[in-house]
Amino acid sequence: GLSGPFAMAVSLPILLSSFGFTAAALLPVLGFLIGLMKGATLGGAVPAILFNTPGTPDSLLTTFDGYPMAKNGQAGKALRVAHLSCVSGDTFSDLVLISCAPFLAVFVEKYLDYPEKAALIVLAMAFIAAVVGASVIKGLLSAMFGMFCATIGTGEDATPRLSFGIDALAGGFPLIAAVLGVLIMGEIFQAIEDLARSSREDKVMPSVKQHGDNRLHFSDVRKLMPTIGVSALIGTIVGALPGIGSTLAATLGYTAGQKMNKGPIPFGKGAMQGVAATEAANSAVSGSNLIPVLSLGIPGNVAAVFILLAMESIGGLNPGPNVFRLTPGTINPEAVMVFGLFTLMMLANLLNWTIGGAFMRGLGVMQHIPPRVLMPIVLLVTLTAIYVQEGKLVSVYVAIGFGAIGYLMRKLQISVLPFVIAYILADDFERTIRQAFAVSGADPWFLVKSPIALGFLVTAVLVAVFLGRNPIGKAVVQHADKD
């Protein structure tokens, strides 16, 4: 029931307290978070293959072919296929990130001014709200509620807003406590409720025995490479679009692999191409989802949220078009940090290539930890991490309060991701709007007088309408909501 974002959420406050808030702390913190993100993607296939239980939502489709392979005595081979596919897709996605993010950032910096950037944030929020959740209306409500909560506190004009004379509200809610409350605490509350309803008896995990040749031969790799390549490309494209997530990427990759399959074993019956298609697609999301973060400052999924939170909390790297700005005769320290991040990502891939496979084949025993033991521990560690990072008991209360909000949103089938991303982007959006308003000479129609900004706004409306009424859009919504 845990995932990479869970581990990133619990670790971030502890990392900030350990390394501090200087620029020198940024790369160590990001390195730890990147390792968690990539390691969780690789490890999610282990219980899916060995126990028919997906370790993460992305690994659900891995059970369709991975577990039948395990029952046929090929658990080791299935794990090797998952390892090869996962790391291959991840590496491909990182190479695309390194190649594309600078060019996109330069394009944005050259052609988009304050009105266009404000309209672009509106478009991104509309897209995320439209593709994540049970309905477009609920997604938009979630985003607007996130914007509303972010306005509480002292605004850009140094005037308290919605604080009702309460000193604790004058500075706004602590960012990390609020985000962890909605994302993690709400999920824990929901999991505890589910455990209370379920049987107290431990689930007996099915056991599998290996027999026959479980090695992955070169001939097998040659058969898998077309499937891995197509799925990695699909995952990279999906990951670059904010809000969609790796579950949809895995679904599209599995569907494409099924159409390409020429082998004797059909998908769903233990085809190793099925494992490869799913793992390559969902792992390819982890690199490309940082393209909108680094180029635009817009997080695309939950994992990217914590990467952005680390950057904003520590400083030294303000994600957006400026990070790739190069001036002759000077060194851009933000560009140095970004390419340091790229180096960390490739190093993480190297570690996954070398020792990741050995670890993933030996950690299946972790699946036997009962959820009723695991979830209270996660709750305690999360609250402790928040208190350690903030140093104030009020932050724990804020996290619990936002956890209750996240729990209620889940009960009402309202996705929390638009809320979180809107909450994080609210300050940048307000600042950009104010700057655009000032540059235009206080013209109230500054957004619609720019053709590019007007195009972004019209596209935002069309995206919301199309994805709200079109059956394809609804299918995207259903898959995206699982992330």
361-388: average pLDDT: 72
* pLDDT of 342: 93
**Distance from C-alpha of 223 to C-alpha of 393, rounded to nearest angstrom:** 57
**Which sign does the torsion angle of CA 374, 380, 384, 386 carry?**
positive
- CA 333 to each of CA 65, 105, 252, 269, 392: distance values in angstroms, whole numbers, following the listed order: 47, 16, 39, 52, 33
**Distance from C-alpha of 310 to C-alpha of 337, rounded to nearest angstrom:** 13
pLDDT greater than 60 at residue 98: yes
Contact 38, 350 (CB under 8 A): no
Encode pLDDT of 221-248 as tens digits. 888 899 999 999 998 988 887 766 677 7
Confidence tier at 368 by pLDDT (50, 70, 90):
low
By CB atoms closer than 10 A (0-12, 13-18, 19+), residue 427 is: middle
* pLDDT of 322: 80
pLDDT greater than 60 at residue 205: no
* pLDDT of 369: 65
Q: Is 153 helix (H, G, I), strand (E, B) or coil?
A: strand
Across 341-345, 426-430, 457-461, the highest mean pLDDT is recorded for 341-345
